[in-house]
Chains A and B, each alone.
Chain A
């Protein structure tokens, strides 16, 4: 069975554009609003949605997304709630891939097998566990492969070419290139360095490459889109959600702005 993520990237490539991958935290500020935002993001041009799974200690996140996790935990959002959210989303959308992005400890609270069972039932497409490098991932890798769930992996500016090759060989769906040495929402992206590194990365993989962590607006998106198959934007949406007024329209407008750059 071919993965939905693979199909979506193939389609976008045929249309000669880049994928827009949008991130938001599940349950931020509440599950109903998250669901509404997801649909609106798709209407305005999001191709894939990364749903952050809230965790008490989101070590790789900048302040914006940390606050998103805190807001989602304040109303008790659990991993099961996030699976419910995907099931509800699928009632009217069976084509937009959804990826769970989060931390090992929450994913493990269900165990790999039960997690994948729920993932299959809710038609989840991929997982990205931030603190699970290939060396630490055996249970989830095996279970994900069996369940036909993509495992998206991170490559960083610090990753050596030989290590990048190894990581790509254990990755499916897309490769997530971290554009900065830093946390999510960082503002120090060096677009020339990103272009060079992503160029090198092409030698190791045929998978689509998405670039994220430092993309916040049309300018930063367009500075690196030339070498990418897709870009990921997260903090910019989570900030708007945190500001609290007219969330859905403002997130929609930002999605549209980014999507137009990538077309």
Chain B
């Protein structure tokens, strides 16, 4: 099967993906699949989605030549896909703009979401406000502490933030709690999942709505670079910004696809969030994928300086792209990400999110090994304003 036709009818990417949920949700997911297949071909929907991306999100986002950074690294020419310039500050808005239209089409009155760094929470609360729908955002208590700015933004947007204190009190637990809400309120509630994760059809829906990023790069590259890029780089937590960038390029084998996972305190310490590099196959949140787990099948605590990458699983399509060798998955640890965060800020005047900084850190390493005729596009998936408190506290500065 061509990768472009993935997932298959059972929602699988090779052995990954699927629909591992309690029976109550199976009919709801079947209905979601049916409705999505109808709406994605509907001309009115396509027009509304395209208009919203243009006038509400501010697309297309520029493909920007990082001239000073390229000179500093002394190798491949580096181009930044500026998703940080989107409304609400990250790629996450692309998906929520699409899913809220799907929710309205399905007649749902109540929106729920999970969030880690808070960017998906902000993006969901924003579109819910715009469409006048009730919105509840589940967020781990640990993340509420380290992303207080986004918590307040979500509240200002009129959504309710529900703290989750079970398990590790982070993104995975927020997702468990959102699933529990959905199963309880399945008749009137639409669950906007924020990554290419969860049971089928979510990995497909979230990928498709983010694929606008890759499609724009495909077109912009011809003007800005003069040809296809040699390499695409994006950070991977659940993997939605990477999947959105990679997807339109999957069949173009001349373009290397590199996802960068969170190395935390270092792969050898076990304290990281890099399931594709150091995890094994398992089932969580309705999908089969690579997971951080122990020998008894318990999901283990992850570590990353960035809340948005602090997740023990990864989207099933990434698991598949890794196994077939179409994409490569590297790691950047906390320190490398912080250095990259500072370097891009100082050299280009662009402050990336700490999640994004993991992709930036890999470019720092790989660009000098390439030549000036080659080019790299790195997805600046979000802006770093939300991370200022985190960076300040690491440096011992009280704001």
Contact = CB atoms under 8 A, between A and B. Distances in A.
Contact of A163 (B27, B28, B180, B187): B27
Contacts of A186: 184
Q: Which of B173, B282, B283, B293 is the most central at the interface, judged by chain A CB atoms within 10 Å of its CB?
A: B283
B283 A104 contact: yes
Interface string B8-41: 0010000000111111111110000000000000
B299 A156 contact: no
Contacts of B176: 57-59
B296 interface: yes
A56 interface: yes
Contacts of B285: 57, 59
A182 B187 CA distance: 11
Q: Which of A58, A66, A105, A183 is the most central at the interface, judged by chain B CB atoms within 10 Å of its CB?
A: A105
Nearest to B18: A136
Interface string A19-32: 00000000000000
Nearest to B184: A182
B184 A132 contact: no
B91 interface: no
Interface residues on A, range: 35 or more
Contact of B27 (A57, A58, A105, A160): A160
Given A57-B176, A105-B283, A131 B21 contact: yes
A154 interface: yes
A158 B179 contact: no
A108 B284 contact: no
A160 B28 CA distance: 11
A135 interface: yes
Given A73-B298, A158-B27, A181-B186, A60 B22 contact: yes
A132 B284 CA distance: 11
Given A66-B166, A131-B286, A155 B23 contact: yes
A229 to B, nearest CB: 19
Contacts of B265: none
B295 interface: yes
Contact of B23 (A57, A70, A167): A167
B22 A109 contact: no
Interface in B143-193: 166-167, 172-173, 176, 179-180, 183-187
B137 interface: no
B19 A133 contact: yes
Nearest to A77: B296
Interface of A is mostly: loop
Interface string A155-182: 1111110010001000000000010011
Contacts, number: 113
A56 B286 contact: no
Nearest to B186: A181
Given A59-B180, A183-B180, A158 B24 contact: yes
A157 B183 CA distance: 11
A106 interface: yes
A181 B180 contact: no
A105 B297 contact: yes
Contact of A105 (B23, B28, B186, B282): B282
B244 to A, nearest CB: 26
Nearest to B296: A78
Interface in A40-72: 55-60, 62, 66, 70
A56 B299 contact: yes
Contacts of A70: 166-167
Q: Which of A79, A130, A155, A156 is the most central at the interface, judged by chain B CB atoms within 10 Å of its CB?
A: A156
Contact of A133 (B23, B186, B297): B23
B297 A136 contact: no
Interface residues on B, range: 35 or more
A56 B23 contact: no
B19 A130 contact: no
B283 A108 contact: yes
B299 A130 contact: no
B183 A55 contact: no
Interface string A93-112: 00000000001111111000
Contacts of A136: 18-20
A59 B22 contact: yes
A56 B20 contact: no
A46 to B, nearest CB: 24
Contacts of A56: 167, 298-300
A59 B21 CA distance: 9
Contacts of B172: 57
Contacts of B283: 103-105, 108, 131
A105 B10 contact: no
Contacts of B173: 57
Nearest to A164: B23
B166 A181 contact: no
Nearest to B29: A133
B317 to A, nearest CB: 18
B291 interface: yes
B19 A57 contact: no
A62 B177 CA distance: 10
A57 B299 contact: yes
Contact of A158 (B186, B286, B297, B298): B186
A66 B298 CA distance: 14
Contacts of B19: 133, 135-136
B24 A109 contact: no
A132 B24 contact: no
17 contacts: A56-B298, A57-B172, A59-B179, A59-B285, A73-B298, A105-B293, A105-B298, A109-B296, A135-B18, A135-B19, A136-B19, A154-B23, A158-B28, A160-B27, A178-B23, A181-B185, A183-B180
Interface of A: 55-60, 62, 66, 70, 73, 78-79, 103-109, 130-133, 135-136, 153-160, 163, 167, 178, 181-183, 186
10 tightest Cβ-Cβ pairs between the two chains A and B: A109-B297, A156-B24, A154-B23, A106-B297, A182-B184, A104-B283, A158-B27, A60-B22, A56-B299, A56-B298
Given A58-B176, A135-B19, 4 more contacts: A78-B296, A133-B21, A133-B26, A135-B26
